[in-house]
Structure 1
Amino acid sequence: MRFSSRLSSFRPSVLSLALAAALTAGSAWGVEPFKLKDIRVEGLQRTDAGTVFASLPFRIGDTYNDEKGAAALRALFATGLFKDVRIEIDDGVVVVIVEERPIISGIEFVGLKEFDKDTLAKSLKDFGIGEGLSFDKALADRAEQELKRQYLTRSLYGAEVVTTVTPLERNRVNVTFTITEGTAARISEIRIVGNSAFSEGTLKELFDLNEGGWLNWYTKADRYSRTKLNADLETLRAYYLNRGYLEFNVESTQVAISPDKQDITITVNVKEGQPYTVTAVKLEGDYLGKEDDFKTLVTIKPGQAYRAEAVAETTKAFIDRFGTFGYAFAKVDARPDIDRATGQVVLNLVADPQRRVYVRRINVAGNTRTRDEVVRREFRQFESSWYDGRKIKLSRDRVDRLGYFSEVNVETNEVPGTLDQVDLTVTIKEKATGNLLVGAGFSSADKLSLTASIKQENVFGSGNSLGIELNTSRSQRTLVLSTVDPYFTIDGISRAIDVYYRTTKPLNSQGETYELVVPGASVRFGVPFSELDTVFFGIGYERTSIKGATAIPQNYFNYRETYGAVSSSVPVTIGWARDGRDSALVPNEGRYQRLNLDWGIAGDARYLRANAQFQQYIPLTRRFTLGFNAEAGWGKGLGGKPYPIFKNFFGGGLGTVRAFDQGSLGPVDVIGAFIGGNRRLNLQSQLYLPVPGTGNDRTLRWFGFVDAGNVWGENDKVTAKSLRASAGVGLSWVSPVGPLQLSYGSPIRKQPGDRIQRLQFQIGTAF
């Protein structure tokens, strides 16, 4: 006799009720318990039989009954592999007959424009719809709803999605999502209700969302997003809280969409409250007996309007100061006491330093190529030492200044089971530090040039750099072999070795018919005297040849006639640098200072050549930075000899005074050649602005600039009247081959005969 029980696309809850009813009523397919002789599985195509056997609650030799049969059906259906399951009994043998769900062979999107196909496919896989997975109609419906939800986030409220399932041979299906995207709904109006202290126009200017703008085709700022609206509301709240409105609140927001789903109206209802003035700032709690020290960190003073931003800065400064004493988990609460009758507030800063801790271990994570020691040797916070917040921040900045990583973060984690220990985890994100370049380039100064270079800033993850550079530009041809070991000694003394061959053709209005050929080599050492200060010293040898017969500048001709066409020199280099910037490539704040002196102590050319540089970066806001750069150079001949003309400074172009032709400032020879001078001054200022749509990415920024400067010869008088000046705009980008600047400017102070070049670009400079 054969008995059969079956499950086909029932939910488990429905199945349980059906089975219970069947057992209670003595169902027709019920069987008397018996001892299993064998188990067979039929209908399998792809699923392994072991998967079925593992789901069965009985084995050969067990006693089979209806309860075990019902449990087997539930377990098999729960695997999601089968759309139909039956159990038949044949003379003590259980026969499990299954019908497998079809496998998804492929997923296609038709009409897709707004999203990337791969991104959507990955999103749907989280819902169980993906190539190689079992097909389930219920999951397909959920995937369809998820697609519609994705379009809602882009303000495409009229988007329609139709799912088509196409059967294929071998129990496979293709799933096609046909999408009609429609047009995006635009914000037609933003209303702010309840404001009186500030105009609606002023408040709407704070929002990233807007009703229309000339850059909306790129920024999509007129597309509604709940996330963006919440961010704008937080900006609005911060605006009021920083102007004394301590009780400001957003009462409600209403978002209405037109019947045709094309226009959106946003209404924000606010309650301003009254402005409050701070009358006193009190320190309460445990300040470790250093109240006077902490009071110097308070940025909000009595008599000023309450500013939430200043309060947050003060509490953070307090927490950081506690961190310098080893209290890594200090808490500081700002508790305002409000007097509504007078509009005054007393700010109480309540401190709880918690417990003092020391660092047990420093872990490095995320480095796939760079050795741990390269990161660890930059750390000034040591293991088994008291936690020091200042040293940890300094360590993070030092690691970031290496330039090997795109992200550097330090996290503090408590050690389980202890109260006075923490672990630090330095998480880094590697970036490409090697560059292999073979090809052609074009610059505004050198026209077409062939370049080839192999340079690795972090060779084999050791922190050392090794490079071979070849440049065949029109004005300067270079072959350089260089290596830098930043930790030549364990104390951090660096060593740099350069071997080079350079040919330079100074700018000449009558043709490039003369050149300077300079082979040489040098070795330099850098000794760190503090966390920010490094002193450099080194020695080199170079041999300068002045070649050319016609159209050679008179100064070069006279020098060659007097001292010969070939001049040797043994320059000794002494220098000092202090780098307090938060980043070497994309600084936002901090200061950089450098002083360098070259002293030709032996050879034909005897001279002193000094160069000083000062940079300052000031963060105006989180995304706006003001940068200043000043550079001055001076040279003098020694031993009764004139200053070597081939050591002259040049000005004009990127890095000096933009909008003037590269190297065109300063003295001009009688034949029209720009020969430079022994004195130089550059003054530059830049305001960095974010590129719309790039968020907080500082590797790509716009800037406005104002430059001034000039170059003077030995017989020229340095006066403010002789300075040239320019202004303009540009684009700064940290490209894979180095910092790149593109600028367009106009001279605002020039003299007749000056050569103007408005559009300029250059790789390898921050200013």
Structure 2
Amino acid sequence: MKYCWLVLTGLLSLNLLWALPEDVTQVSGVKFIGNSRIKSKHLKQIINIQNKSLFANQSFDRRVIKLDAISIKNYYLTKGFLDVAVIDSFTINDGNADIFFRIQEGKQYFLNTINLSGNSTLTDKQIISIFKLKENKPYNPVAIQVNRSELNEAYHEKSKLFLETKTSQLVTDSVIVNFEIQEGPDVYINKIYVDGMIENLDSNVIFRELDFKVGDKYVKSNIDASQRKLMEIGIFSMAAITPVKNITNDTTVNLVIELRELNRREILSSGGLIAVTVNEGVDPVSALGGDVAWKDRRVFNSAANLEIKSLLAIPVETGLQYPRATVDVLLSNQWILGLRIPTELSGFFQSFRNYEQKKGFIFRYGFQLANILRLDDRSYLRTILRWELFDAKKRDDKNDIENRSFRIIGRLDKANNPLYPSRGYVLFTEFISVGGLLGGNRTYQKIDTGIQGYLPIRKDWTMASRIKYGMIFDWDEDYDEYETILLYDKFYLGGSSSLRAWEALKFLTDNDEDTPRGELIRLLLNWEIRFPIVWLLGGEIFLEGGQLTDKINNVALKSIQWGRGFGVTLASPLGPIRLDYGWKEDKPGSGRLNLGFLYIF
């Protein structure tokens, strides 16, 4: 447990180092006076000023207090307290400030009736649902203002671009809300203009990405999809489509497509902690690395992109701390043979050492053809046809392995933030078919699927959970000969990306706990609570478990091995950097430290 004390001591030391000078007034406490209908603990979650604590000092700022008073008032308004008044004050003694919010709650009003007039395109039920109003519930005037833009978008989807709405409320013992809607005519597209057209670029490259044409009705989803497709070409830094009212006809608009070009050719480089895939059966691990890439975004004045990229990375995971060098050549285009099929053709070469490999290197090279269907910015369906050769002649005189595979990868990402998720969920599935009609040395199928969810439990606190399940079919025992010296295609657990109480890949081992052992079936469960500490530092406590087996009948909750632990995170623009300490449930003295980049999921 000495690592626990080291981490705790480090946190306390950082807190002392970052403490503000003594002559700066600190917030000592925050007190709410007069709130009888809403508890103080709920009000504390919506303000920025917080009580002084072991890990956090906050400097006194009069502007922040004023903003917090406004936040408290708006919160009361959402609960139906239309007459609420919030008065802020403070006292300062010996460099410590006590903050007071005096609240006159007033009467809580309930919504009696909602009256709508003038709407024919959207029903009363649809409009009321957009505004999130319910009769006989506390009246929330803030919701009307906040959701007005959503109403506009709903009408824009129905070609009603010149919508006008008036809202009035009659307040007595309860509230009656009146909505007067003037939908206006259906709006059509008159002309399309392009601003920022690139020299020597065929205009068809732009117009073929549009989901609309002159004479069509204006439909917002078509506009949004066209903007996304223009950005996917990869040659623009900005693509905006703006409707401009036609002054000679109130039923038409002109669309202006504004484009800004990226540098056609450039050399890009980056470095730091990155996530790398080391083997098929192992979740991506953190690595120190850097890459250099040369890009031509308009090969032969077309919309095709060419990229040549080299990467050098050293995983920080125990047993995998060997350099991995990769060179990729990638040619991509959104259109093939007149059809919009986003396609990538790439060749690759990689030199690496496998888990605890002391001598020699394994060389992996090949090419792949990939297609991707984007559902939104972070959701997609991807297919990959890959040929690859693993050359291990410099190690144990093993023969080369030729893999030919087809895979389908699907991801539905509904999390609110890709780096710091606090709400939503992510669904993911990968199916791999190796060999068979494609040929190669081996034939088997593999499926890996899972879900991860995020739930806010209080201000800046998040409960995160993940379940992953995977199976391999038609695996031949002869394939095991190459498993732990070359491929690692089975499922493995352990390390900073799966189960932090176990050494990387060594959830199961052979040969007196020296060689990792993979299996054909994997079940992985993770739960975390993530919370802020001070400044850029955060904390997490976790419970996680897993099972590896070769028979589906063996999968059971009672067979899961559990681990738990805690960690600290450092927020960065590229995502959190974390230091975790985990131990096995049945072996409390078996703790391990893990360094990782990004949250584990």
Q: C-alpha displacement at 1:321, in angstroms?
A: 1.2
1:388 partnered with 2:223: no
Of the three residues 239, 244, 258, the one matched with 2:75 is 239
**C-alpha contact (below 8 Å) 1:667/1:713 kept by paired residues:** no
Alpha-carbon spacing, 1:524–1:618, altered in 2? closer, same or farther (3 Å):
farther
Of the three residues 499, 502, 507, the one matched with 2:348 is 499
Map 1:119-268 → 2, pairs under 5 A: 183-186=23-26, 194-198=34-38, 203=43, 206-210=46-50, 212-214=52-54, 217=57, 219-220=58-59, 222-225=60-63, 228-250=64-86, 252-253=87-88, 268=101
- 1:721 maps to 558
Q: C-alpha displacement at 1:633, in angstroms?
A: 2.6
1:481 partnered with 2:334: no
Amino acid aligned to 1:350:
E
SS in 2 for 1:566: coil
Q: C-alpha displacement at 1:322, in angstroms?
A: 1.1
Of the three residues 583, 594, 597, the one matched with 2:429 is 594
Alpha-carbon spacing, 1:533–1:246, altered in 2? closer, same or farther (3 Å):
same
Q: Distance in 1 between matches of 2:457 and 2:239?
A: 23
Q: C-alpha displacement at 1:336, in angstroms?
A: 3.4
Alpha-carbon spacing, 1:610–1:741, altered in 2? closer, same or farther (3 Å):
farther
Q: C-alpha displacement at 1:653, in angstroms?
A: 1.6
- 2:183 maps to 353
Alpha-carbon spacing, 1:188–1:505, altered in 2? closer, same or farther (3 Å):
closer
Q: C-alpha displacement at 1:526, in angstroms?
A: 0.9
Q: C-alpha displacement at 1:253, in angstroms?
A: 4.8
Amino acid aligned to 1:683:
L
Q: C-alpha displacement at 1:621, in angstroms?
A: 8.6
Of the three residues 652, 668, 681, the one matched with 2:494 is 652
Alpha-carbon spacing, 1:522–1:390, altered in 2? closer, same or farther (3 Å):
same
**C-alpha contact (below 8 Å) 1:685/1:707 kept by paired residues:** yes
Of the three residues 627, 630, 635, the one matched with 2:472 is 635
Of the three residues 540, 559, 564, the one matched with 2:387 is 540
Alpha-carbon spacing, 1:209–1:607, altered in 2? closer, same or farther (3 Å):
closer
Alpha-carbon spacing, 1:529–1:311, altered in 2? closer, same or farther (3 Å):
closer
Alpha-carbon spacing, 1:270–1:543, altered in 2? closer, same or farther (3 Å):
closer
Of the three residues 136, 141, 163, the one matched with 1:303 is 136
Q: Distance in 1 between matches of 2:228 and 2:543?
A: 29
Q: C-alpha displacement at 1:536, in angstroms?
A: 0.4
Q: Distance in 2 between matches of 1:745 and 1:458?
A: 44
Q: C-alpha displacement at 1:491, in angstroms?
A: 0.6
Alpha-carbon spacing, 1:438–1:327, altered in 2? closer, same or farther (3 Å):
closer
- 1:521 maps to 366
Alpha-carbon spacing, 1:379–1:215, altered in 2? closer, same or farther (3 Å):
farther
SS in 1 for 2:392: strand
- 1:760 maps to 595
Output the TM-score relative to the length of structure 2. 0.71
Amino acid aligned to 1:246:
L
The C-alpha deviation readout for 1:409-468, integer Å capped at 9, x for no partner, is 96856447464426567799999x97536899999x999998553236886897654311
Amino acid aligned to 2:109:
Y
1:327 partnered with 2:165: no
SS in 1 for 2:404: strand
SS in 2 for 1:237: helix
1:663 partnered with 2:509: no
Amino acid aligned to 1:197:
R
Alpha-carbon spacing, 1:628–1:187, altered in 2? closer, same or farther (3 Å):
closer
Q: C-alpha displacement at 1:300, in angstroms?
A: 3.1
Q: Distance in 2 between matches of 1:519 and 1:230?
A: 61
The C-alpha deviation readout for 1:235-283, integer Å capped at 9, x for no partner, is 1112212222133234x5556778x9x6767665543221122334333
Q: Distance in 2 between matches of 1:184 and 1:632?
A: 53
Deviates more, 1:518-527 or 1:197-206: 197-206
Q: Distance in 2 between matches of 1:187 and 1:733?
A: 24
Alpha-carbon spacing, 1:707–1:350, altered in 2? closer, same or farther (3 Å):
farther
Q: C-alpha displacement at 1:326, in angstroms?
A: 2.2
Q: C-alpha displacement at 1:495, in angstroms?
A: 1.3
Q: C-alpha displacement at 1:487, in angstroms?
A: 2.2
Alpha-carbon spacing, 1:271–1:362, altered in 2? closer, same or farther (3 Å):
farther
Gaps of 5+ in 2: 1-19, 279-283
Map 1:9-20 → 2, pairs under 5 A: none
Output the TM-score relative to the length of structure 1. 0.58
Amino acid aligned to 2:556:
T
Q: Distance in 1 between matches of 2:121 and 2:238?
A: 32
Alpha-carbon spacing, 1:331–1:622, altered in 2? closer, same or farther (3 Å):
farther
1:711 partnered with 2:542: no
Q: C-alpha displacement at 1:232, in angstroms?
A: 0.7
- 2:9 maps to none
Alpha-carbon spacing, 1:284–1:468, altered in 2? closer, same or farther (3 Å):
same
Q: C-alpha displacement at 1:568, in angstroms?
A: 2.6
The C-alpha deviation readout for 1:337-359, integer Å capped at 9, x for no partner, is 3332xxx3333343333454456
The C-alpha deviation readout for 1:120-155, integer Å capped at 9, x for no partner, is xxxxxxxxxxxxxxxxxxxxxxxxxxxxxxxxxxxx
**C-alpha contact (below 8 Å) 2:91/2:97 kept by paired residues:** yes
Map 1:534-573 → 2, pairs under 5 A: 534-543=381-390, 545=392, 565-573=398-406
SS in 2 for 1:491: strand
Q: Percent identity?
A: 13
1:421 partnered with 2:267: no
The C-alpha deviation readout for 1:377-410, integer Å capped at 9, x for no partner, is 87757777543334455567778999999x9896
Of the three residues 574, 579, 603, the one matched with 2:440 is 603
Q: Distance in 2 between matches of 1:442 and 1:497?
A: 20
Deviates more, 1:293-302 or 1:583-592: 583-592
Q: Distance in 2 between matches of 1:495 and 1:599?
A: 20
**C-alpha contact (below 8 Å) 1:362/1:383 kept by paired residues:** no
Alpha-carbon spacing, 1:657–1:355, altered in 2? closer, same or farther (3 Å):
farther
Q: How many residues align?
A: 546
Amino acid aligned to 1:468:
S
Greater Rg by CA: 1
- 1:673 maps to 515
SS in 2 for 1:758: strand
SS in 1 for 2:583: strand
Map 1:14-33 → 2, pairs under 5 A: none
**C-alpha contact (below 8 Å) 1:706/1:727 kept by paired residues:** yes
Q: C-alpha displacement at 1:766, in angstroms?
A: 6.1
**C-alpha contact (below 8 Å) 2:496/2:594 kept by paired residues:** no
Q: C-alpha displacement at 1:575, in angstroms?
A: 0.5
Amino acid aligned to 2:68:
D
Q: Distance in 1 between matches of 2:123 and 2:274?
A: 61
Alpha-carbon spacing, 1:631–1:503, altered in 2? closer, same or farther (3 Å):
same
**C-alpha contact (below 8 Å) 1:615/1:630 kept by paired residues:** yes
SS in 2 for 1:321: helix
1:467 partnered with 2:309: yes
Q: C-alpha displacement at 1:485, in angstroms?
A: 1.6
Q: Distance in 1 between matches of 2:30 and 2:288?
A: 55
**C-alpha contact (below 8 Å) 1:256/1:264 kept by paired residues:** yes
**C-alpha contact (below 8 Å) 1:413/1:422 kept by paired residues:** yes
SS in 1 for 2:406: strand
